[in-house]
Amino acid sequence: MIIKEVFMKNFGKFHNERLRFQPGINIVYGGNESGKSTLYTFFQGIFFGLRRKRGVASRTDTYTRCLPWENPSWYEGSVLFEAGKKDFRLERNFESRSQEAELYCVTDGEKMSVEEGDLEILLGGATQRIYENTAAIGQLKTRTEEGLTEELREYLTNFQTEGDFRLDPGAALDRLKDRRKEWEKEEKKAREKKERAREKLLDRIQYTREEIEDLEEKLERSRESFRDIGQDRQEEKPAEDRRESSFPLVFAALFFLGFLAGCAGAIFFQLSWLIPALIFLLGGAFLFWYFRDRGEKASARSRKEQDRAIRNERKKGQQITWKEALQDKRNLLYNLQEELEELENDNEKILKAQKEVQSISLAEKMLAKAAGNLQSRRGNFLKERTWEIFGELTQGRYQRGIIDENFQIRLDTGDRYAGLHQVSQGTAEQVYFALRMAAGELLCREEELPVILDETFAMYDDKRLCEALEWLHKNRAQVILLTCTRREIEALESLGIPFHQVDLQIRAGIRSNS
């Protein structure tokens, strides 16, 4: 990316101020209070916006410091830049309630959308935190801020393949983890569903068995009842037969006694006609009683037999019903047992979920391993590139060191490793500068951002300054260096490096030295 022009329509002390820049090194020269820091803030604000803080903090935040001196409600500006061999204009209203931004492709005459990510694509995916820790270095901020450590850690766990496809292993692992948890839930649900169905079948089987036992008991009691009835009938019949067979004997005995009594009366009392008559009357009365009693008993037996027959028919019908019910229950029990056996053998859903869980777990392990290997390679690139840049900045005086996982840095002095607090401030500043530049190459691979420096080399001696400027000239497409001294200008002139100068002392007075 190359910044060609900024137009601060109303921003801080600037009003309708237009500044132009070129590829290569640009020197923005101006004394104190000339607006260098305001311009530095404008670069950040135009691309990423200026968020206003809340409460007491809002009184001194960046948004408030850069409010226009005149007409503060009119707070806006624009930038013209080149990306991908096309020119784009980004216009932004910094007013806190709107923060509106409009993006245009000047080359194609097309309006684009910041909300839909067009600006992010042009910036190569760089966030404000990446910008502030790599491309932009403010006053006394050569040392990396805490955000860079976190950003590098996040980046080193991610990797980018060729083209526009970006794979984030951390996010991919999270998605795999979520997917695995979903399948684990599916497996648990399948197991619970199967167990519920199994318990339900076992309950039905147990209940059916109890019903079968109940029906079998009823049938057994019914059969025993039939046996008791038959036995009672067999016991009653001999008694009746004995009573009926005893009547002729009784009648014959009575008749014989009457005959004897008649003969005796005729002999002793000469009552020959009266005795037979009396015997006849007694015999008739006895016969009448006998046949009447026999009829009544026969009628009673008939009614009893009818009642017994009716009860027997009812019991036989009930027996048939119970037998049919018993057969139905036995069939049901057989079917339930078959269903239970099928259920016990039906593990398709559970096995499918288990297979998915195993596959996803394996994918997690493989991805984590691949990400770890790639993270190691990316981390090695960052370290090696940092020491390579640092070696170029120091003309080979230092070439190696250690950067641990917490990005604590130690230099290899030849006989020992020294912490940055043990070396000169200038050397420490060079190390942090090298780390920022290496991080920029790592984090901004898709689109190289202009390097914007605000009094960054104030603590450098002349030698270190020349080394840094020469490295920037060789390795960066555009550098915008804001300074209040002429040291950088004189160093560039002595090195014969072409540069473009913007003089804030005379407000938009521009001259080139090439």
Choose the most confident range, by mean pLDDT, from 74-88, 222-236, 400-414. 74-88
Beta-bridged to residue 250, according to DSSP, are none
Residue 139: both structure tokens together: 């006053």
Coil, strand or helix at 91: strand
**Which structure tokens are listed for 364?**
């997690």
Half-sphere exposure of 505 (CA within 13 A, CB side): 12
Cα gap 137→455, rounded to integer Å: 8
* pLDDT for residue 234: 59
Closest CA relative to residue 452, chosen from 35, 13, 43: 43
Tell me: pLDDT of 11 over 80.
yes
Residue 282 CB neighbours (<10 A): 14
Q: What are phi and psi of 511, to 5 degrees?
A: -145, 155
pLDDT digits (tens, 9 = 90+) for 203-241: 999 999 999 999 888 888 877 776 655 555 555 555 555
Model confidence over 162-190: pLDDT tens digits?
Answer: 333 344 556 677 787 888 899 899 889 98
Q: Which of 426, 404, 425, 400 is nearest to 413 (CA)?
A: 400
Using one digit for the tens of pLDDT, what is the confidence trace for 311-337? 777 777 787 888 888 899 889 989 999
List the beta strands (DSSP E) in 73-167. Answer: 76-83, 86-93, 101-105, 110-112, 136-137, 159-160, 166-167
Q: State the Cα torsion 429-432-433-435 to the nearest 10°.
A: 160
What are 15's two structure tokens?
Answer: 């009003």
Kindly state the tokens that stand for 386. 């940092």
- Of 39-43, 203-207, 246-250, 455-459, the poorest mean pLDDT is in 246-250
> Taking the mean position of all CA atoms in its chain, how far away is CA 137?
40
- Sheet with 417-419: list strands edge to edge: 401-403, 409-412, 417-419
Query: Quick one: 396 exposed, middle or buried, by C-beta within 10 A (0-12, 13-18, 19+)?
Result: exposed
Question: Residue length, the chain?
Answer: 514
Sign of the Cα pseudo-torsion (429, 431, 432, 433, in order): positive
DSSP 254-294: HHHHHHHHHHHHHHHT--TTHHHHHHHHHHHHHHHHHHHHH
Q: What are φ and ψ of residue 19, in 5° steps? A: -125, 135
Total Cβ atoms within 10 A of residue 402: 13
Tokens representing 273 are 């006609």
Q: How many CB atoms lie within 10 A of CB 326?
A: 17
- The Cα–Cα gap between 292 and 247 comes to 13
Which residues contact residue 146 at a Cβ distance below 8 angstroms, ignoring those fewer than 6 apart?
Answer: none
Strand ordering across the sheet containing 76-83: 14-20, 2-11, 76-83, 86-93, 101-105, 110-112
pLDDT band for 161, please (50, 70, 90 cuts). very low
* Alpha-carbon span 308 to 356, nearest angstrom: 72
pLDDT in tens, 39-67: 999 999 899 888 777 766 666 677 778 77
By three-state DSSP, how is residue 97 classified?
coil
Q: What is the DSSP code string of 143-195? A: SPPHHHHHHHHHHHT-EE-STT-EE-HHHHHHHHHHHHHHHHHHHHHHHHHHH
More reliable by pLDDT, 70 or 449: 449
Task: Report which secondary-structure segment, H or E, holds 503.
Answer: strand 499-503
Asked if the model's pLDDT at residue 145 lies above 90, the reply is: no
**pLDDT at residue number 275:** 61
Q: Which residue has the higher pLDDT, 385 or 297?
A: 385
pLDDT single digits (tens) 351-367:
888 888 888 888 777 76
Residue 497 has a pLDDT of 95
Q: Residue 436 has which token pair?
A: 């920022």
The Cα 155–Cα 126 span in angstroms is 11
Average pLDDT, the chain: 78
- Is residue 472's pLDDT more than 90? yes
Question: What is the structure's pLDDT at 19?
Answer: 94
Count of other CB atoms within 10 angstroms of residue 443: 25
- What pLDDT, on a 0 to 100 scale, did the predictor assign at position 413? 76
